Amino acid sequence: MTDRFSFRLLETDAGARLGGIATPRGIVRTPAFMPVGTAATVKAVYPDQLKAAGADIVLANTYHLMLRPGPERIAGLGGLHAFMRWDKPILTDSGGFQVMSLAKLRKVTDDGVTFQSHIDGATHVLTPERAIEIQCLLGADIQMQLDECIELPASRDVTQRAAERSLAWGARSQRAFERLLEAGTAKPGQALFGIVQGGTDPELRQRSADALVEMSFAGNAIGGLAVGETQHTMLATLELTVRRLPADKPRYLMGVGTPIDLIESVARGADMFDCVMPTRSGRHGQAFTWAGKVNLRNARHADDPGPLDPESSCPAARDYSRAYLHHLVKSEEYLGAMLLSWANIAFYQELMQAMRAAIAEGRFAGWAAETKRRLAQRGSDP
């Protein structure tokens, strides 16, 4: 344990990086996948199950928590870790992305964003300063600057304005964080990450990255991807952005992705990821396995006594028959969503662990090629 935030790069192999982020709440082994605990709970999964699956860190959404139950309330209850019973690191986003995707009647100015809650229509204001204040109230170990997220496709002008505004908000977020550190509201082991925007425009991405690197955040995130562009475009943008980022700081690719996205992105030097896919797919009857995606709604599972994966260390994947999972999904039983979300979270952690082992042993390229082939089988489910 440490009382400081630090990143250590241990190995690189075929572009992929093995490392560790040290925080006062524990080490995050990278490449790392962060399960998404939107409203202070990873949907349908117990905290103990996350830990047993190997998750070192979870993500929580500032947008949701600012609306309900409110950051001041969570602070009064001892912070987000105590509230949701998760004592390992937590990363919170800044709310920028959800304001774009969920809030109603939003209005963005240079000062910040005014929007209506999707829950009760109440008006809220999110500025770079308030986003940091909220994340400090939550007690997040890794905090994110407020950025402006735009929908793709967007014109170059719109993309550029949002990228520049995000940089300006990054600087304000940083000053706000420093003030809160001085005031003792932020804690020394907590860290603030900046976010590169710039859409899929190579030049805007590079300029944004260069400007962000100048500001010297504790970590650098790549935002505004995985919003509908092709995988090819996403990976190309990631690749050219990563080249401008320093090697000695963690790189967080926000909102990604499928298992194959993760492998491709690790191969391009990304260290951290988050995505609702494992839990959302689990609630919709889909399982991720080493043999590809399995759709448990499919009638071919109705009489199958075999588990999702007899080799898994996760009870949900190892001990329950596909026939039972099929029945639970068809019957819309809670336990179906519970078991599949758990199994998917465990699979994602197994995938990251396998990547870390392959990098450590200098066989990442071969491992990646073989694993992508296996995953592309899609479990023979359409």
- Which position among 4, 8, 85, 156 is part of the footprint of a second copy (CB under 8 A)? 85
Asked if residue 169 lies in contact with residue 229, where contact means CB atoms within 8 angstroms, the answer is: no
Q: Is 84 an interacting residue with respect to a second copy (CB under 8 A)?
A: yes
Residue 68 binds a second copy (CB under 8 A): yes
Question: Which of 185, 254, 187 lies closest to 219 in space, CA to CA?
Answer: 254
Say which DSSP state 48 is in: H
Q: Does 43 bind a second copy (CB under 8 A)?
A: yes
- ∠48-88-194 over CA atoms, to 5°? 130
Under rule CB under 8 A, residue 231 binds a second copy: no
What is the C-alpha separation between 99 and 223, in angstroms, rounded?
Answer: 14
Within a 10 A sphere around the Cβ of 340, how many other Cβ atoms? Answer: 30
Q: Is residue 93 annotated as part of the catalytic site, yes or no?
A: yes
* N-terminal to C-terminal alpha carbon distance within the chain: 46
How many C-beta atoms surround the C-beta of residue 356 within 10 A?
A: 23
**Based on CB atoms, which residue is closest to a second copy, 14 or 335?**
335
Q: For residues 29 and 301, which CB has a smaller minimum distance to a second copy in the complex?
A: 301
- 93, 141, 147, 261: which one is catalytic? 93
Stretch that binds a second copy, among 79-87, 138-146, 162-170, 197-205 (CB under 8 A): 79-87
Instruction: Assess whether 56 carries a catalytic annotation.
Output: no
Instruction: Give the active site residue among 147, 261, 271, 274.
Output: 274
Should residue 78 be labelled a site residue for a second copy when binding is judged by CB under 8 A? Answer: yes
Measuring CA to CA, which residue among 56, 58, 17 is closest to residue 266? 17
User: What number of H helices and E strands is found in the chain?
Assistant: 15, 16
Q: Which is nearer to a second copy, 244 or 330 (CB)?
A: 330
User: Residue 283 in contact with residue 43, Cβ under 8 Å?
Assistant: yes
> Count of CB atoms within 10 A of residue 151's CB?
12
Nearest to 273 by CA among 283, 284, 263: 263
Question: With CB under 8 A, what is the number of residues at the site for a second copy?
Answer: 35
Contacts (CB under 8 A) with a second copy, residues 269-328: 302-303, 305, 319-321, 323-324, 326-328
Between 297 and 327, whose beta carbon lies closer to a second copy? 327
Select from 10-18, 26-34, 77-85, 88-96 the region that touches a second copy (CB under 8 A): 77-85
Angstrom distance (rounded) from CA 158 to CA 75 = 37
Residue listed under structure tokens 């190892």: 318
- 213, 211, 208, 210: which is closest to 223 by C-alpha? 208
> According to the binding rule CB under 8 A, does residue 52 interact with a second copy?
no
Told to check if 77 binds a second copy by CB under 8 A, we report yes
CB of 199 to a second copy, least distance (A): 33
Write the binding mask 325 to 354 for a second copy: x where contact by CB under 8 A, - elsewhere. -xxx-xx-xxx-xx----------------
**Which residues does the annotation mark as catalytic?**
93, 274
Q: Which residues bind a second copy (CB under 8 A)?
A: 39-41, 43-46, 68-69, 73, 76-78, 82-85, 302-303, 305, 319-321, 323-324, 326-328, 330-331, 333-335, 337-338
